[in-house]
Structure 1
Amino acid sequence: MAQAQLQQDIEELNQLLKQAKRKRVQDLLSLEIRKLETDIINLKEAEKSQIEIAPSTSSSTIKKRYQIKLNGYGWDQSDKYIKVFVTLKNVQSIPKEQVYCKLTDRSMELHVENLDNKDYLLSINKLLEPINVDECHWKQKTDMVVVFLAKSQPNVKWSHMTEIEKKSQDQRNNRFKPDDMEKKDPQESIMDLMKNMYDTGDDDMKRMITKAMYESQHKKRTDIPDFNDAM
């Protein structure tokens, strides 16, 4: 889902890049596109990451197990629960004590131990709303674990799973507003985008934008004809 949203951002930026006239603005838009493309690559690599861990016993006859960090999951909600769905083939075949959660009021860790000689970990931090740890539970189903996170405030609808996802979506919504962009002059839309990039960018981005704005203003002043010389 996150990759698809980043790809949509890149497409919007490419449209603005085609409309931009000044090289400095084109460079800034190209830089932002490259940053988003890097974010997509990092997400893909994170999904494939596997970390080797030491065996739980010193016996040389025991094979090493590997911990696999899970990133993909589905979720749904009812009035009382946030339901997290984690797909793991044959997870129903292992003992219940090998499937457990570590919970706080704003985070969850699902641990699945020794499933086909591998350990699995799903970690979700900074939940959008607090949960009631005492009322949470989980179930093993065929090829799936379902975690029931009890809402501290029943009947409150969650728009996102985590604070980070909501913040990211809000930033994208503020950065790209198609209706407004269609009504505005293309150059005005680019200036609004540059302001948003300045507000949310790092120090290097801010320096580049400040320099571009200064050069733009300086060019406008030097383009004004000197009427005294003409007379």
Structure 2
Amino acid sequence: MSATKITELRSDIDELNELLKQAKRKKVQDILSLEIRKLETELISLKESEKNENAMEVTPIPTTSSQSQKRYQIKLNGYGWDQSDKYVKVFVTLKNVHNIPKEQVYCKLTERSMELHVENLENKDYLLVINKLLNTINVEESHWKQKTDMVVIFLAKSRQNIKWSHMTEIEKKFEDQRNNRFKPTESEKADPQESIMSLMRNMYETGDDEMKRMISKAWYEGQQKKKTDTLDL
């Protein structure tokens, strides 16, 4: 999810930079520049968060070892996925997972979620949870396999031959919101300045008090300039 959001933020920043090139008024340029800086700050924060996630959250869990040795649970966040007409395949990389007994690698599945459990791999437990799958799966026909340094989960599609655009509902909603936010109307396509004004309206509705103050000031000064230009004529 973090990787997807980082990609989307980069796209947003690139698009705002294109609008900034088209903007003619300084106040509008300042507002667009402020929004770009905010998104760039969010992007940096997400990158830092992703680094922490890659380090993986480590939590001690109790164990019944005769030597009272603690085992740790590591919550996994990263995975890859692909699909065929029948399955959505989830790929989870874990070094040496092929060396442990099959009963220590298992999944808990529902129609809209999956949990991968890997127990006692080099004295660590691993957990990957994916909730709110985009579509339903057939639990009985789903299965998983241990491969060299990897576990592959085969999630059987309830409706075969239906292509999944995303792994989860959340990822799809995030992309739809981003696309709708910057999707220009027909009039905006014909007039780049109208596209900028539409973006500013959206920024005003969703922005903080400082953003609203700047946009209101830019609009007021723009109206005053129009009146001055009319009087000059």
TM-score over 0.5 for the pair: yes
Name the residue aligned to 2:57. Answer: 50
Moved more, 161-170 or 35-44: 35-44
Distance 1:4 1:132, change over 3 A: same
Name the residue aligned to 1:127. Answer: 133
Q: What TM-score comes out, normalization by structure 1 length?
A: 0.80
Q: Deviations over 1:23-54 (max 9, x none)?
A: 34432332233223323322332222322222
The Cα of 1:96 is off from its aligned counterpart by 1.2
2:40 to 33, 38, 60: 33
C-alpha separation in 1, matches of 2:201 and 2:156: 41
Name the residue aligned to 1:214. Answer: 216
Name the residue aligned to 1:138. Answer: 144
Name the residue aligned to 1:6. Answer: 9
C-alpha separation in 1, matches of 2:48 and 2:14: 16
**Unmatched 5+ residue regions in structure 1?**
none
C-alpha separation in 1, matches of 2:47 and 2:21: 22
Name the residue aligned to 2:69. Answer: 63
Name the residue aligned to 1:91. Answer: 97
What SS is found at the alignment partner of 2:137? coil
For residues 165-204 of structure 1, what are the structure 2 equivalents within 5 Å? 165-176=171-182, 187-197=193-203, 201=206
Identity within the alignment, %: 59
Partners of 1:28 and 1:208 within 8 A in 2: no
C-alpha separation in 2, matches of 1:187 and 1:41: 36
Moved more, 71-80 or 21-30: 21-30
Q: What TM-score comes out, normalization by structure 2 length?
A: 0.80
Q: CA RMSD in A?
A: 3.2
Partners of 2:189 and 2:195 within 8 A in 1: no
Distance 1:111 1:194, change over 3 A: farther
C-alpha separation in 1, matches of 2:104 and 2:156: 22
